[in-house]
Structure 1
Amino acid sequence: MPKYFKRTSKIQVIIALRSTAIIIQLLLIMFVNLGLAYQLPWTPLVSVISLEILFTLSSYIYYRHNHLSEKKASQKAILVQICADIIFLSLLLFFSGGATNAFVSLLLIPIAIAAVTLTPLLLAIVASLAISSYSILLWSLPMSVMHGNMQGHFIGMGINFLFSALVVAIVVGKMARSINQQELAIANYRENLLKQEQVTSLGVASAQVTHQLATPIATVQLLADELSEDLPDNEIVADMQSQLTRCRDSLSEFRAMVFEIKEQVIKEINCQDLFDEITVNVRFNNPEINLQLQNNTGCNLTEAVTIKADASLLPAIINLINNAIRASKANNSKTLSLTSQVIEGNWQFTIRDYGKGFTLKKLNELGVKPVNSEQGFGMAVFLSHASLERLGGKLALTNHQDGGALVTLSMPISSQQSKTVNHKEISYA
């Protein structure tokens, strides 16, 4: 769809077109009266054009002083403008020859404009109004012009206009909607491509940093081993070795995950096992957190609930959980709620924190692009959202009615035990 038909300028374009039409109408009336010496009824024509000018000026002033209304111009507002054009044009034609006027085919122009700006239902209203206007003009012709074969000629003109109006409404409307859908698809493709480029850049940077960390971690590990030999009962040295082991294991897991993603290794993951692994990870890394677990995919079911994913799923979920933990702690709370359930053929994993929740601005930005955040939401949510999108999952961010934020992850399941799911709640201190 051309740029001048974008939603933010539709009303302005229609007003500009009508202003141009008014100038042409005045010039044509003067040319016919003065140049062709054909006497037209000045009073009704000038009265109609005066009303048209008044309506145009009123519309211009209204939308100029109401910028929000112009930017969010509703379909009904555009419908009013187009219908007004049909009425004004019909009145001008009525006082200047009616259906015999050579410019009667201009009634097709409002239909064409409606075809690229309005919905099919409103387009049908505009087409019906234009066809009705032409029919009235045709019906109001005096009997004096119906001599000879002119009656058949005017009937043919009416059928021709009806056919032309339907062709314009159907063909132009369908082409306009097709072009609009293509533009939306291209815009979505560009947005996804830009997002994947950002994710790729972050992945390359992460791989470089991980590779650079491997050597110093190995060096510190050797030093820690030597200290352990000299101070075998020192708790600080033991704790340092434990943390270094975690770093080494994380690097190994990262390498394995990168290899699986590179090779596009997709495997069946049991939702119960995944839920257990998530809770173990949270309790191990954040023992101070009070977990409230609600699991509807447990061993009560007669058949295991599984999803298809790769190695990036678990890190994506852990990133979201770590964000939720930071949000709860920032609000002086150590509680976190995790829910696992099956709804309409999808495994849903919900994380509720007890923080301050998302602002409207954050809800619009999170997951779409990396954003700055004191609590670190932006980058992790962006990466998690990209990972889930690639796996065919969805991520929804909302605020809980009792406070805090809700992050809902949804993945299509590959098998389901039964339609009846038992409800189980467990609370850990």
Structure 2
Amino acid sequence: MQHPSATALLRILYSLRWFAVGGQSLTIAWAVLGLDMALPTLALWSSVLLLAGFNLVVYVRLLQVRDATPAEAFVHVLVDTAVLAWLIAWTGGIANPFASLFLLPIALTAMALPQAWAIATATACVLGYLLAISFGQPLPHLHDHFDLHLVGMAVNFFLSVALVSWFLVRLAAARDRRERELASLRERFVRNEGILALATHAASVAHELNTPLGTMTLLLDDLDTSRLGADGADDVATLRRLVDICRDRVRSLADPADPAATTLVGIDRVLEHWQLVRPAIVLARSGNVDAGQRVDRAIGHLLLALLNNAADASEGNGSQRVDLHLQLDHGLLDCTIRDYGTGFDAQVPFLPVLFRSGKPDGLGVGLALSHAAIEQLGGELEMDEADGGGARVRFRVPLRLPARQSAETTL
């Protein structure tokens, strides 16, 4: 089974191993050249080279693996423990001031791996320590360097404190990051459950609405617009377009597998439909996106939801204006919608929660669905205060158009 902390442990052991290779090399060179101690240099240098070679293999492995297993991490710890036991055995055994470094692998695995693997590591370290002191080779003239032994004990203590503290900080950061990821996944799962229930209910309601919408279409066709005058005829034409839009939306809800429900839509058509529903709102548009630009239907729904929220916010503050900026750059659609409402409450963190709305008559669906749509499209959503009052919502999504369509709409 994969374990996130095991991967973090592998990376930390990789860094510590290079530190050990450098420290051991300097110590051996200083003892032999500086202190003129008769050490088994062949045995010591062979362990250093073995550790360096193993770490090169680990480097290649870390480039390939995303999630390691506790068993793999235990094998790495076992190699380090064996090398440590070899070094301790050739440099004084129990008299070596660095013999307490056997405690370091135990502390690391106890924090990073499941209990069974931590116990296995402790057992391996105890065996390594017993073998090192049992077969340890005493250093010649060690009694002449007792002060050096005390210095070694002090260095070992401070080194152990530094390494354990550094590891615990790294591991705590990895754990906190994993907990944040899990919390985000749980939040997304709960929201997706609500959206799934909403979609199921919407499909059912769509079937129920199809009949009355068909009846409304027949009644509108039977109206004698000649008796209504010019204004009345325009109103009937507007109603007919609105009913047609409703029937198209209901049809796509009732049968989401219909190819027509997944085709591209033009931004001009999306904005035209929105202006039919919100004729009192003045939409100030800017940017380099052509009116004929076609986008995924989900982006069209997202744009409608955010425009409706902006219109509601502006009307709630006595304004009839909404600003829309659309920018297309290398296949990335950058959309900014600014309203002229009261803005966000700086004291209340904004979280799009399904079925919980900040508007008196709102259902809390628009922004929650917008947030979910952004995640599905692989984009990002930002919300902040606008200069001069109101709020600004910005989303960036890749268009993911077919090659032919992309060629036709490149700006």
- 8 Å CA contact 1:355–1:405 kept in 2: the answer is yes
Deviation at 1:192, TM superposition (A): 0.9
| Cα distance between partner residues in 2 of 1:389 and 1:298 | 25
Distance 1:400 1:249, change over 3 A: closer
Q: What is the aligned counterpart of 2:308 among 315, 322, 326? A: 322
Counting matched residue pairs gives 272
SS in 2 for 1:339: strand
Distance 1:155 1:215, change over 3 A: same
Task: Out of 156-165 and 378-387, give the one that drifted further.
Answer: 156-165
1:187 aligns to 2:173 (yes or no): no
| Cα distance between partner residues in 2 of 1:237 and 1:382 | 38
Distance 1:392 1:219, change over 3 A: same
Deviation at 1:217, TM superposition (A): 2.7
- 8 Å CA contact 1:296–1:342 kept in 2: the answer is yes
Deviation at 1:317, TM superposition (A): 0.9
Deviation at 1:314, TM superposition (A): 0.9
What does the per-residue CA deviation read over 1:193-230, in whole Å, with 9 as the maximum and x for residues that have no partner? 1111121122222222222222233344445555x37x
| Cα distance between partner residues in 2 of 1:288 and 1:223 | 26
AA in 2 matched with 1:407: V
Distance 1:286 1:371, change over 3 A: closer
Partner of 1:277: 269
Deviation at 1:285, TM superposition (A): 3.2
| Cα distance between partner residues in 2 of 1:368 and 1:216 | 28
Distance 1:149 1:263, change over 3 A: farther
| Cα distance between partner residues in 2 of 1:267 and 1:158 | 72
What does the per-residue CA deviation read over 1:148-193, in whole Å, with 9 as the maximum and x for residues that have no partner? 6632431331243244234313433333222222212111111111
Distance 1:287 1:306, change over 3 A: closer
| Cα distance between partner residues in 2 of 1:171 and 1:246 | 64
CA RMSD of aligned residues (A): 4.4
- 8 Å CA contact 2:321–2:340 kept in 1: the answer is yes
Partner of 2:193: 197
Partner of 2:227: 233
- 8 Å CA contact 1:294–1:339 kept in 2: the answer is yes
Q: Percent same amino acid among aligned pairs?
A: 26
- 8 Å CA contact 2:285–2:324 kept in 1: the answer is yes
| Cα distance between partner residues in 2 of 1:264 and 1:306 | 14
Partner of 2:134: none
| Cα distance between partner residues in 2 of 1:264 and 1:241 | 24
AA in 2 matched with 1:357: G
SS in 2 for 1:332: coil
1:373 aligns to 2:369 (yes or no): no
| Cα distance between partner residues in 1 of 2:349 and 2:277 | 28
1:207 aligns to 2:199 (yes or no): no
What does the per-residue CA deviation read over 1:288-317, in whole Å, with 9 as the maximum and x for residues that have no partner? 332222122339xxxx9876x4x2221221
Deviation at 1:242, TM superposition (A): 5.3
| Cα distance between partner residues in 1 of 2:170 and 2:159 | 16
- 8 Å CA contact 1:358–1:399 kept in 2: the answer is yes
- 8 Å CA contact 2:313–2:339 kept in 1: the answer is yes
Task: Out of 312-321 and 155-164, give the one that drifted further.
Answer: 155-164
Partner of 2:387: 401
1:335 aligns to 2:321 (yes or no): yes
Deviation at 1:391, TM superposition (A): 1.0
| Cα distance between partner residues in 2 of 1:263 and 1:179 | 44
Deviation at 1:376, TM superposition (A): 3.4
SS in 1 for 2:190: helix
Consecutive unaligned residues of structure 1, counting only runs of 5 or more, are 1-104, 117-145, 422-429
Deviation at 1:324, TM superposition (A): 1.5
SS in 2 for 1:174: helix
Distance 1:362 1:392, change over 3 A: farther
SS in 1 for 2:279: coil
Deviation at 1:339, TM superposition (A): 0.8
1:255 aligns to 2:251 (yes or no): yes
Q: What is the aligned counterpart of 1:161 among 149, 154, 157? A: 157
Deviation at 1:377, TM superposition (A): 8.1
SS in 2 for 1:312: helix
Partner of 1:298: 290
AA in 2 matched with 1:296: N
Partner of 1:355: 341
Deviation at 1:342, TM superposition (A): 3.7
Q: What is the aligned counterpart of 1:388 among 371, 374, 383? A: 374
Consecutive unaligned residues of structure 2, counting only runs of 5 or more, are 1-99, 112-141
- 8 Å CA contact 1:365–1:371 kept in 2: the answer is no
SS in 2 for 1:409: strand
Distance 1:326 1:377, change over 3 A: farther
